[in-house]
Amino acid sequence: MTPIGLAVIGAGYWGPNLVRNAMATPELRLEWLCDLDEARARAVLGRYTTVRPTASYERVLEDPAVAAVAVATPARTHFELVRAALDAGKHVLVEKPLTPTLAEGAKLVALAEERGRVLMLDHTFCYTPVVERIRELIRSGEVGDVQFVDSVRINLGLVQQDVDVLWDLAPHDLSILDYVLPPGVVPVAVAAHASDPIGAGRPCLAYLTLWLSSGAIAHVHVNWLSPTKIRTTVIGGSRRTIVWDDVNPAQRLAVYDRGVDLSAAGEDERHAALISYRTGDVVVPALPEREALRGVMGEFAAAIREGRAPRTDGRSGLRVLALLEAAQESIRSDGRRIDLGGYTR
Ligand SMILES: NC(=O)c1ccc[n+]([C@@H]2O[C@H](COP(=O)([O-])OP(=O)(O)OC[C@H]3O[C@@H](n4cnc5c(N)ncnc54)[C@H](O)[C@@H]3O)[C@@H](O)[C@H]2O)c1
């Protein structure tokens, strides 16, 4: 089978990771690396390659050998770049967040559908072995009913120029939730608080609460100012509790048979309840070591080849944007609860 011609747009921090993984994917053939700073693109490619560096996006889009583009430029540029690529008949893989507003994202999703082109989000974490396993644990019923989610993603991060911490980091947690929650469980309301203690002009730390249709609460803490890196997600279930510590490769995932049970007391104490604590085994699942972006590239190529929606399609990007916009509205109104009427998965 002839490989699919690909161009990567953006050779900054993240773009080179797309380049490396595209080159390692036999179903793709990397044709171009485009960056406004052509010297940067050239430096990323090195000397011994047939991939061409360019500063001209038009040139890339005019090339009939290019069937698909992967956009790794700052969020504020996504709308124009993705629209131009779809207009030129290319399939698109775009970095998170899809666009800085839901309205722009919706236009791109509609355009991709109209043109019959694949629009895929690089929700990278959804392609990691650990998130795959968490999804299985939840969907197989092993965890039981999800009672709470608590996610912390904090470190001394790059204070971005065009997005705040919510739009930079929370797409990871929100896309993971979107992927792992059981079918039918959806966020129904959002509240968020944020602050900018260094005077950066945009929130550098944020706390986000999501009420789920099942009655559970999910909480996300994102922060660019923490001197220590913490990336922990705890998912408490009625049967098991999952602890994912992404900075601990020796025990990235642990499944605890430990928790609190509440059982009704006898007839005569109808209103009383007994609380009992379970302290069972802790299981540390063996997970394959696999780079998530290889999965992203493989899925992009397969979706194009098979003419189907990818696992993290444009609509998954829109669901993330809807939550981000609601959180932003809540931050502006001092943490008011914002109801998400009509949110579906
Ligand atoms: N999936 C992930 O885990 C992950 C991680 C980091 C960043 N990202 C995303 O990747 C995107 C890029 O982030 P970054 O940190 O690499 O940014 P960056 O600023 O380091 O790099 C962006 C590059 O894009 C180039 N560029 C800007 N406008 C362009 C245009 N119109 N045409 C061609 N090149 C252009 C710039 O010259 C720069 O080299 C963002 O959307 C970010 O959210 C995703």
CATH number at residue 55: 3.40.50.720
Residue 100 included in any domain? yes
| 43 Cβ below 6 A of ligand 1 | no
- Cβ–Cβ under 8 Å, residues 340 and 187: yes
Same domain, 307 and 245: no
- How far apart CA 318 and CA 324 sit, in angstroms, is 10
Same domain, 240 and 140: yes
One pLDDT digit (tens) per residue for the chain, 345 residues: 899 999 999 999 999 999 999 999 999 999 999 999 999 999 999 999 999 999 999 999 999 999 999 999 999 999 999 999 999 999 999 999 999 999 999 999 999 999 999 999 999 999 999 999 999 999 999 999 999 999 999 999 888 888 999 999 999 999 999 999 998 999 999 999 999 999 999 999 999 999 999 999 999 999 999 999 999 999 999 999 999 999 999 999 999 998 888 876 555 565 567 888 888 999 999 999 899 999 999 999 999 999 999 999 999 999 999 999 999 999 999 999 999 987 887
Sign (positive or negative) of CA dihedral 108, 109, 113, 118: positive
- Cβ–Cβ under 8 Å, residues 179 and 173: no
- How far apart CA 65 and CA 42 sit, in angstroms, is 20
* pLDDT given for residue 108 in this prediction: 98
User: What distance in angstroms lies between residue 38's CA and the mean position of ligand 1's atoms?
Assistant: 14
Same domain, 38 and 66: yes
Nearest residue (CA) to ligand 1, atom 6: 14
* pLDDT given for residue 272 in this prediction: 62
* pLDDT given for residue 42 in this prediction: 97
Q: Alpha helix locations (H) across 181-270?
A: none
- How far apart CA 123 and CA 29 sit, in angstroms, is 22
Same domain, 264 and 277: yes
Same domain, 100 and 247: no
| 242 Cβ below 6 A of ligand 1 | no
Same domain, 147 and 50: no
- How far apart CA 323 and CA 187 sit, in angstroms, is 8
User: What distance in angstroms lies between residue 132's CA and the mean position of ligand 1's atoms?
Assistant: 26
User: What distance in angstroms lies between residue 169's CA and the mean position of ligand 1's atoms?
Assistant: 14
Residue 217 included in any domain? yes
Q: Which structural domain, as residue segments, surrounds residue 50?
A: 4-123+293-312
Same domain, 214 and 304: no
DSSP-derived 3-state class of residue 28: strand
Same domain, 249 and 329: yes
- How far apart CA 298 and CA 303 sit, in angstroms, is 9
Same domain, 159 and 261: yes
Q: Kindly give the number of the ligand 1 atom that is closest to the alpha carbon of 75.
A: 41
Give Dmax over CA atoms of the chain in angstroms.
82
Question: Model's pTM, two decimal places?
Answer: 0.95
Same domain, 69 and 141: no
Residue 345 included in any domain? no
| 178 Cβ below 6 A of ligand 1 | no
Residue 317 included in any domain? no
Residue 218 included in any domain? yes
Q: Which helix (H) or strand (E) holds 291?
A: none
Residue 83 included in any domain? yes
Probe target for ligand 1 pocket from 35, 60, 224, with the most ligand atoms within 8 Å of CB: 35
Residue 134 included in any domain? yes
Domain count, the chain: 2
Same domain, 88 and 171: no
Same domain, 40 and 136: no
Q: Which of 143, 217, 127, 152 has the alpha carbon at shortest distance from 182?
A: 143
Residue 344 included in any domain? no
CATH code of the domain containing 284? 3.30.360.10
